[in-house]
Amino acid sequence: MTSRLKTLGEAGQAVWLDFIDRRFLSDGGLRKLVEEDGLTGVTSNPSIFEKAMGHGDAYDAGFQAAAGRADASAQDLYESQAIGDVKAAAADLRRVYDRLCGKDGYVSLEVSPRLANDAAATVEEARRLWAAVDEPNLMVKVPGTKAGVTALRVLVEAGVNVNITLLFSLGAYQAVADTYMAGLEARAARGEPIDRIASVASFFVSRIDAQIDQAIDARLAANDPQSADLAAIRGKVAIANAKLAYAWFRTLLASERWQALAAKGARPQRLLWASTGVRDPAYPDTLYVDALVGPNTVTTLPPKTLDAFRDHGAVGPTLTEDIEGARRVLSEAARLGLDLDAVTRGLVEEGITLFAEATDALLGAVDAKRATLLGDRQRATDAPPANSPQTAPATPTQ
């Protein structure tokens, strides 16, 4: 029986895993998902690496090898291990990348969220990571801030694959799509090839409903006179928002500007649905996967959501269904005083803060690991050889 996850691929949607871990890679977990479920990509972020490196002993050997360098910072130690994981994932996905001629098979590694508002520093770090990993199926993750969008153009023109992340609104996505095309145009104008550059625009879903639903619930609890109308759109705003982004993407692909780039071999910047795990237990656990299936898109799934979809997910052309209904949902939200623009702006800032906090926790965990490992090494150095005679303790003076 064909895996439900493979049927997403048959519908034109790539499935990426929102998870990475040393033991998962070394035990063949990623290869198994590629072979059995048709997985075609992996994403990572500071939160994922904090969970992976900060707990257990899977990274101890790697830390032990690097921890003795006096000049090695916690950032250096983290990067050495993260790059190792990303290179291993890229190797597992290379067959996909080659089979699809570079259309898929990517693994993402994020620049520091501390650089989110510094375009020049983002470009510098992205290019450094690109060179350090040195695999054609890497995507460097850059946040979709104003500075991040500026960096996107420079990186695309330089031939770096970019996953532009933390997109929540149609306007933000449109700015990113325009910038991607501008980077391709500038590169083509220099006579450089554009047929091997790949990019995705990571559009977040469930976090929007979490914020909007919270506002709705507060008004329902206060017996708001518009309670019935508010309840009717609960849990529907995020999907409507994503559907309209996809509708705009389809219009873009038909535009003269894009067609001119496509004639030179350019690849579309696919929409990637991020934050697909449900946050309200009252909702079906595959809600944000089932409702957003369509060609030229990516869905990135945390392990729990991936397992749920494999078990009972549904595949159909849902992204193009009832677009007018999606417009009505957003129109109704505005009429009811639910400010989606304010919510999405706040979510970008919140996302950067959360990733920065995760980075701090990650580096703190790495420092603690180093202290422990160096302590163990020092104790091993100080201990006498196993077969050497032990010196008897001195007799205390009376």
pLDDT in tens, 114-125: 999 999 999 999
Question: For the purposes of burial, counting CB atoms within 10 Å of the CB of 359, is it exposed (0-12), middle (13-18) or buried (19 or more)?
Answer: buried
Tally of domains within the chain: 1
pLDDT of 66 higher than 80: no
d(CA 127, CA 341): 32
pLDDT at 398: 33
d(CA 329, CA 321): 14
- Least reliable range by pLDDT among 21-35, 44-58, 115-129, 236-250: 44-58
pLDDT of 376 higher than 60: no
pLDDT at 70: 63
Computed over every residue of the chain, the mean pLDDT equals 93
pLDDT of 383 higher than 60: no
Is residue 352 helix, strand or coil? Answer: helix
Enter the pTM of the model: 0.92
Whether residue 173 lies inside any domain: the answer is: yes
Confidence of residue 200 (pLDDT cuts 50, 70, 90): very high
Whether residue 390 lies inside any domain: the answer is: no
Question: For the purposes of burial, counting CB atoms within 10 Å of the CB of 123, is it exposed (0-12), middle (13-18) or buried (19 or more)?
Answer: buried
pLDDT of 57 higher than 90: no
**pLDDT tens digits, one per residue of 224-276:** 999 999 999 999 999 999 999 999 999 999 999 999 999 999 999 999 999 99
Whether residue 68 lies inside any domain: the answer is: yes
**pLDDT tens digits, one per residue of 149-181:** 999 999 999 999 999 999 999 999 999 999 999
Whether residue 306 lies inside any domain: the answer is: yes
Geometric angle at alpha carbon 101, from 98 and 103, rounded to 5°: 110
pLDDT at 390: 45
- Provide the CATH number for the domain around residue 14: 3.20.20.70
d(CA 124, CA 122): 5
Contacts of 54 by beta carbon, 8 Å cutoff, 6+ apart:
361, 362, 365, 366, 369
Full domain range(s) for residue 313: 4-376
d(CA 113, CA 260): 34
**Is 236 assigned a catalytic role?**
no
Element (H, E) at 143: strand 138-143
Pick the catalytic residue: 6, 103, 141, 304?
141
pLDDT at 388: 45
